[in-house]
A and B are shown apart, each in its own frame.
Chain A
Amino acid sequence: MTRVLKTAAAVCFVLATAMPQLVMAQETMLKLVNTLTGEETALSEADVLALPQAAINTENEFVDAMTSFEGPLGREVLALLGEGGSTVVLTAVNDYAVEVPVADFANYDVVFALSADGERFSRRDKGPIWVVYPMSDHQELQDPVYNSRLIWQLVKVELK
């Protein structure tokens, strides 16, 4: 009897400690909406990490030096929304939103960065996702138009 109680207590302890991680892992990190079809997809952190990961080295106006940004390419994420549409509306956690042409993701290796130089973004910095353009590789991207598209704390992607 004592053994049964001990085993039950151990199981409860394991569940209690593991639950928050399980919940966190399944919590929605990025919401995808295709306004053309009305389809919606919720990606957890695990889903985002399961996508093919890429890394770009670049500078921009918000970092001090050349930085490596790691995460899935924007076009890999958009592929989950299906084909069609010409514009994507990217929305941050504070409801700030920018419109970005779909062509940007085809023309450039735009990364939905989860980390910089190997360090994961926190919500108090640029997390969970910072949209980063390879500005150092393309001079035409070094322009205020593209600076405004470097949206961080990204939580929602809508295809129009």
Chain B
Amino acid sequence: MGWKLQLPKFLFGGVVTVAVTIAGFGFVTFSQNIDAMREASQENISWSAAQLEKELMRFRDSLRASDAGLTTSSADINQRFDVLWSRIAIFQRGKVGDRLREYDLEINTIGRLFEEMKAMESLVVSISSYDFATMSKIHQAFYPFSGELSELSRRVTVGEEQKAAVFRAHMREAANFALYASISTVLLVMMAMGYFVLDGQRFRKLAEQNMVLAERFKQASLVKSRFLTMMSHELRTPMNGVLGLLAVARQSNMTPSQRKILTQVDRSSNRMLGMLTDILDFAALDNAQFGLDNKPFFSQDLISALPDLLGPVADQAKAKFKVEVVGEVPTRLCGDATRLRRSYALLVTYFLETAGAREIELRISYEDNHLIGRIVVDYLDGGWSPDLISGEREESADSFASEVLGPAVARALVDKMSGEIRHGKTEDGKIVLTIDVPVQAQKERNLKVLLKMQSAPMEMVFKSAVSDFHIDYLSQNDSSCAEIVMMESGMANEEERVSNARKNCPEALVFGIGRSYLPALYDFVAEIPLEVDSLKNKISEVLG
């Protein structure tokens, strides 16, 4: 099966390699042809051979000028001799010389001509203008070379033409090869493309089948998740009933033995209720509709709730637990406070109930826009599993134990909040589990509030309830710039009073404090002290 999956890669690689090889070969051949074409240019070769023949003829003509009834000077003769000499020199150097000598290897016309020139040099140099006898002698000496040079020129011309013919044939073959290679490459590429198209269709079909299977699996998982959610929810209701009745039963007169049994039943029931809550959360995490509830909250509310929440668990496990704030934590933060609290609670509970810790400290700090919760555990006995926290032990359903549930939910919640859980050790060897979640600090600003309370006690209660906020209480004179008008609700002429408030402060929100019979009149209504948290959350929203 593996080779079938690798085949497209090999095929693609093969086609690319062949195409690149052919292209490279074509380029090299073309370059070589260009170079050869340049070198094969016969112009200099044939020209040089012809020039030698021509200059010999001119030299001889200068010696025979008197025969034609012309005068010639010794200077002319010497000049022609020098030029002829320079043409011989061409045969002795450079690529042109090398190629010319190839045509004269057997007969050695040039060599003999040069020897003759050197032999005649003294005569030529010392010749006088009217020394016709010497001229004739020199002329006779060079006479045989005219025919030989003519023959050499012919050999050079024919030889260069043959070379050019060979080169042209080579060019033609190379062009043919390039053509066949190009056609082959095109065919190869087309075949490969055909294969890839078919392969693509096959993979598309497989992908569609996989999508159908995935959809079925998703639906099945959803059904299972909904079933779990429903069952957990359904089970929690009677379990709460059981716990309620147990609490009632414990109020009655019982023997110490009966009370001990009831306590044990109560503990087990609470444990079961916790597990049902975990199952509910775990199922909810898989639900696509799961979303974070990010909104402003007071850091102190989060921190102060933890001892209340986890203290009883620690007491039950006979362990010590404390929460400590390290450094400065901004008063107001924006995030999902409920999920943060739950994450801390699940992990601390794991250490207390499952891992057998005897002393736990939760250190809360705020660093670089991250809320950091460090759970520092000092072990006496028992054991904890880092891999269980990191989720490495829940790969298969077979290994999914109840102890995994809490950490798994905590990890998923932290993950949803774009945070991470790390574990390490302190310098003195204690275990540290760090829950690092990005949480934005809210800018502190003063809220402008116009307070319209009918009774002084209600005003005091309200001010006490919102004492965490920085509030500027406005007077009636500057009420037009109020952000919120706080009115005691449920009083006489309520409708008229709210209408007047909106008229006087058109930009402000109107909050009702207390029970109202006309809640629709207000932007928000809260009964304090019962709904203090709700009121604070709403004010936080207004502060932004």
- Interface residues of chain A, those whose CB is within 8 Å of chain B, are 60-64, 93-94, 96, 122-126, 142-144, 147-148, 152-153
Which interface residue of A61, A62, A126, A153 has the most chain B CB atoms within 10 A? A61
Cα–Cα, bound, A152→B47 (Å): 14
Complex interface: chain B residues within 8 A of A123 (CB): 79, 82-83, 86
**Given that A93-B79, A124-B82, A152-B86 are known contacts, is A144 also in contact with B43, CB under 8 Å in the complex?**
yes
14 additional A-B residue pairs with CB within 8 Å, beyond A62-B90, A94-B55, A153-B86:
A61-B44, A63-B94, A64-B93, A64-B94, A94-B83, A123-B79, A123-B86, A124-B86, A124-B89, A126-B86, A126-B89, A144-B38, A147-B43, A148-B47
Write the nearest CB–CB distance from B59 to chain A, whole angstroms: 10
Closest to B90 in A: A62
Cβ-closest chain A residue relative to B41: A144
**Can you name 13 A-B residue pairings with CB atoms under 8 Å?**
A60-B94, A62-B93, A63-B94, A93-B83, A94-B83, A123-B83, A124-B82, A125-B89, A126-B86, A143-B38, A147-B41, A148-B43, A153-B86
Q: Type the 1/0 row for B75-97, where 1 means its CB is closer than 8 Å to any CB of A.
A: 00001001101100110011111
Chain B window 33-56, contacts with chain A (Cβ cutoff 8 Å), 1 for yes, 0 for no: 000001001011001000100010
Q: Report yes or no: A147 in contact with B44, Cβ–Cβ below 8 A.
A: yes
B58 interface contact, C-beta 8 A: yes
A94 touching B89, Cβ below 8 Å: no
- From A61, A63, A144, A153, contact of B83 by CB (8 A): A153
Question: Within B1-55, which residues are at the interface with A (CB < 8 Å)?
Answer: 38, 41, 43-44, 47, 51, 55
Which residues of B are found within 8 Å of A63, using beta-carbon distances? 93-94
**A143 to chain B: which residues have CB within 8 Å?**
38
> Which residues of B does A touch, CB under 8 Å?
38, 41, 43-44, 47, 51, 55, 58, 79, 82-83, 85-86, 89-90, 93-97
Please, which residues of chain A bring their CB within 8 A of the CB of B96?
Answer: 61-62
**Minimum C-beta distance from A137 to chain B (A):** 17
Smallest Cβ distance from B258 to chain A, in angstroms? 109
- Decide if the interface of chain A is mainly helix, strand, loop or mixed: loop
- Contact B94 A62, beta carbon cutoff 8 Å: yes
Give the distance to chain B from A100, nearest Cβ to Cβ, in Å: 16
Among residues of A, the one whose C-beta sits closest to the C-beta of B97 is: A62
Expressed in whole angstroms, the Cα–Cα distance for A125 and B89 within the complex equals 6
Minimum distance in angstroms from B542 CB to a CB of chain A: 78
Which residues of A are found within 8 Å of B97, using beta-carbon distances? 62
Taken together as a complex, chains A and B put the C-alpha atoms of A147 and B41 apart, in Å, by 10
Q: Which 8 A-B pairs have the closest CB atoms?
A: A124-B85, A144-B41, A62-B94, A123-B82, A61-B95, A61-B96, A144-B43, A94-B83
| Bound-state Cα–Cα, A152 to B93, Å | 15
B146 CB to nearest chain A CB (Å)? 17
- In the assembled complex, how far is the CB of residue A160 from the closest CB belonging to chain B, in whole angstroms? 23
Considering the chains assembled together, what is the distance between the CA atoms of A44 and B41 in angstroms?
Answer: 37
Of B47, B85, B86, B96, most A-chain CB atoms within 10 Å: B86
* Min distance, Cβ B79 to any Cβ of chain A, angstroms: 7
Q: How far is the CB of A36 from chain B (nearest CB, A)?
A: 30
Complex alpha-carbon distance, A126 and B89, angstroms: 9
Among candidates B82, B86, B94, residue contacting A61 with C-beta atoms closer than 8 Å: B94
A-side contacts of B79, CB under 8 Å? 93, 123
Residues of A contacting B95 in the complex (Cβ-Cβ under 8 angstroms): 61
CB distance from A97 to the nearest CB of B (A): 13
Query: What's the nearest-Cβ distance from chain A to residue B156, in Å?
Result: 15
The residues of A that contact B86 with a CB separation of less than 8 Å are 123-126, 152-153
Q: How far is the CA of A94 from the CA of B426 in the complex (A)?
A: 101
Q: When chains A and B are docked, how far (Å) is the Cα of A143 from the Cα of B37?
A: 10
Nearest-neighbour CB distance to chain A for B196, whole angstroms, equals 42
Q: Which residues of the partner chain B approach A60 to less than 8 Å between Cβ atoms?
A: 94
Chain A residues with Cβ under 8 A from B89's Cβ? 124-126
Determine the distance from Cα of A122 to Cα of B97 in the docked complex, in whole angstroms: 19
A126 CA to B79 CA in the complex, in Å? 13
Which of B47, B55, B83 is packed against the most chain A CB atoms within 10 Å? B83
Given contacts A61-B94, A124-B82, A125-B89, contact A148 B38 (CB under 8 A): no
Identity of the chain B residue whose Cβ is nearest the Cβ of A60 in the assembled complex:
B94
CB distance from A41 to the nearest CB of B (A): 22
Given the interface contacts A124-B85, A125-B86, does A148 sit within 8 Å of B44 by beta carbon?
yes
User: For the complex, what is the distance from the CA of A40 to the CA of B96, rounded to whole Å?
Assistant: 35
- State A155–B41 Cα separation when bound (angstroms): 28
* Closest chain A residue to B121, Cβ basis: A124
A23 to chain B, nearest CB (A): 13
CA distance A124 to B90 in the complex (A): 10
Contacts of A125 in B (CB 8 A): 86, 89
- The smallest beta-carbon distance between A86 and chain B, in angstroms, is 24
Contacts of A122 in B (CB 8 A): 82
Taken together as a complex, chains A and B put the C-alpha atoms of A152 and B89 apart, in Å, by 12
Which residues of A have CB within 8 Å of B44? 61, 144, 147-148
Provide the bound-state CA to CA distance between A93 and B55, in Å: 11
In angstroms, Cα B38 to Cα A152, docked, is 22
- Chain A residue numbers with a CB within 8 Å of B58 are 94
CA distance A15 to B96 in the complex (A): 46
The chain A residue sitting closest to B96, CB to CB, is A61
Best-surrounded residue of A124, A142, A153 (most CB of chain B within 10 A): A124
